[in-house]
Amino acid sequence: MSPARLSSRLFSPALPGFDEAAALVTSCAAKVVRLHTGQRSSGIERVRLNQAIGRVLAEPLLADAEQPPFARSTRDGFACRAAEASTHRPLSVAGTTRAGQASSGPLPRGAAWEIMTGAPIPSGADAVIMLEHTIESGAPAEESGAASARAIRLMPSRTIRKGENIVGRGAQAHKGDKLLPPGSLIGAAQIALAASCGSNSLPVFLRPRVAILSTGDELVPISSTPGPSQIRNSSSAMLAAMVTAAGADPWILPIARDTAESLDAALARARAADLLLITGGVSAGKFDLVEPALIRAGARFHFTGVRIQPGKPLVFAEFRRGSTNPAQNESRTKYCFGLPGNPVSSAVTFLLFAAPLIAALAGRRNFGPRFALAHLAEDVKTKPGLTRFLPATCTFAGSEPSVALVPWQGSGDLAAMARANCFLAVPEDAHRLRPGTTVRILLP
């Protein structure tokens, strides 16, 4: 669906399938990422390395020096000339270098040099024999001149090639190399890399703020005791956790009631956020008033439903604030999801559509939903027509991931979802999936 099909009115064309809806959200996310690329320091802050986990790098990380800074041994063993060691004749041990000691050598002809992991290779050596591949033997008298001198030789069953167990100076990176591009998600490995370059802090994109607006006359806050026909608002807390995991700051708004006034007031407030998540009120019921409220607020719809289950009534819309400059218009676009109220529907549609857009808003280059492949452990009978995402458990114990459904009572079944660790994706055209089939799973 192109933006030309954006509609400012309620409409019910044939619903897009999952792939079509996902492609549309992806194209919006790609626009958001392009905006980030052009962003200046206003959208950037510096955080200390120990605060950087889960943040998104805003500037390239450059190598401050050659990596490694010297040719180093990757093993405890003996530096040697591979050609000499390959004769399997004894090599007298000419010296020892520990990690942290200055580079040593030169290595005399017919000799080996005892070396520890991480130590600089003595000049003249071109390989390191692992300690476990050597035999200690008496030194050849004519070379060592001392009967007690140590000598080693390569085990007869072993071979050694030039360069073995040595990482050359600059083999991993040269000074000034771009080690990580902006848009990289910062995890433990990226923190280690920054630390190795002497960075105590990193420039990261500001976290986007995501408004969470749960709607429904039956909802009460978590700390309240629900009346006979009320339920606690569990979805705001769940979505706040999901928003945090996706790299944004959640902003939970007070519950909105199923009235035009309550929704209008809440929407007016929520639009201060970078992205708006509404839950509930998007189905076909008489009191599902979110879509009309979005229209009054000036939203235009990308879609008002998707051929998926759970989550079919999902709404994806945008607000634009008037400007004749298209570039400015782009940066003023705000996206909004109307997630179906049932908690499992909210969770599935969040993972499929909202999480990628949030990741893009956070500045990430890779923002798709997380799918993996697994083997189906049971027979699954289904009805075609909708792509289904069913709560499931994937076990990683065997040689291949194996997935089985969690019994559930429909998309309000929070307990079933809490026992699951993924969702089994059932293709739209499937009638039955047999045990052993390779299937896709959606990961949280």
Binding site for ligand AMP (CB under 6 A): 214, 216, 218-219, 231, 233-236, 279-281, 283, 285, 288, 340-343, 412
172 binds, among ligand AMP, Mg ion, none (CB under 5 to 8 A by kind): none
Q: Taking CB under 5 A as the rule, does residue 280 contact Mg ion?
A: yes
DSSP string across 65-99 = S-BSSS-EESSSEEEE-HHHHTTT--EEEEEEE-T
Shortest CB 411 distance to ligand AMP, Å: 8
- Bond prior to 68 in cis (omega within 30° of 0): yes
For ligand AMP, give the closer residue by CB, 312 or 320.
312
Tell me the C-alpha distance between 230 and 242, whole Å.
24
- Minimum CB–partner distance for residue 257 and ligand AMP (Å): 12
Tell me how far, at minimum, the Cβ of 41 lies from ligand AMP, in Å. 38
- Which residue(s) pair with 62 in the sheet? 178
Q: What residue number has its CB nearest to ligand AMP? A: 341
Report the nearest approach of ligand AMP to the CB of residue 238 (Å). 8
Would you say 257 or 302 has its CB closer to ligand AMP?
257
Q: Which does 310 bind (CB under 5 to 8 A by kind): Mg ion, ligand AMP, none?
A: none
Handedness of CA 221, 226, 230, 231 (dihedral sign): positive
Minimum distance, C-beta of residue 218 to ligand AMP, in the bound complex (Å): 5
Which range touches Mg ion (CB under 5 A), out of 94-102, 214-222, 232-240, 312-320? 214-222
- What is the spatial distance between Cα 260 and Cα 400, in angstroms, rounded to a whole number? 51
Q: Which is nearer to ligand AMP, 31 or 232 (CB)?
A: 232
Residue 310 near Mg ion by CB under 5 A: no
Min separation Cβ 374 and ligand AMP, Å: 29
Please, which residues have CB within 8 angstroms of residue 21's CB and are 6 or more apart in sequence? 303, 306, 308, 314, 316, 353
- Find the shortest distance in angstroms from Cβ 411 to Mg ion: 13
CB of 219 to Mg ion, least distance (A): 8
Q: Which is nearer to Mg ion, 78 or 337 (CB)?
A: 337
Query: Which does residue 283 bind out of ligand AMP, Mg ion, none, counting CB within 5 to 8 angstroms by kind?
Result: ligand AMP
CA torsion 254-258-259-260 (nearest 10°) is 80
Stretch that binds Mg ion, among 40-48, 215-223, 267-275, 366-374 (CB under 5 A): 215-223
Closer to ligand AMP by Cβ: residue 218 or 318:
218
Instruction: Pick the binder of Mg ion from 216, 310, 311, 369 (CB under 5 A).
Output: 216
Q: How far apart are CA 136 and CA 387, in angstroms?
A: 66
Q: How many residues are listed for the chain in this entry?
A: 444
* Rounded-to-10 torsion of CA 42, 48, 54, 59: 50
Residue 144 contact, options ligand AMP, Mg ion, none, Cβ 5-8 Å cut-off depending on partner type? none
How many Å from the N-terminal Cα to the C-terminal Cα in the chain?
27
Where residue 106 falls (left for φ over 0; alpha for ψ -120 to 50; beta otherwise) is beta
- Amino acid code (one letter) for 206: L
Sign of CA dihedral 371, 372, 373, 379: negative
Which of 322, 321, 267 lies closest to 291, judged by CA? 267
CB of 336 or CB of 377, closer to Mg ion: 336
Residues that bind Mg ion (CB under 5 A): 216, 280-281, 341
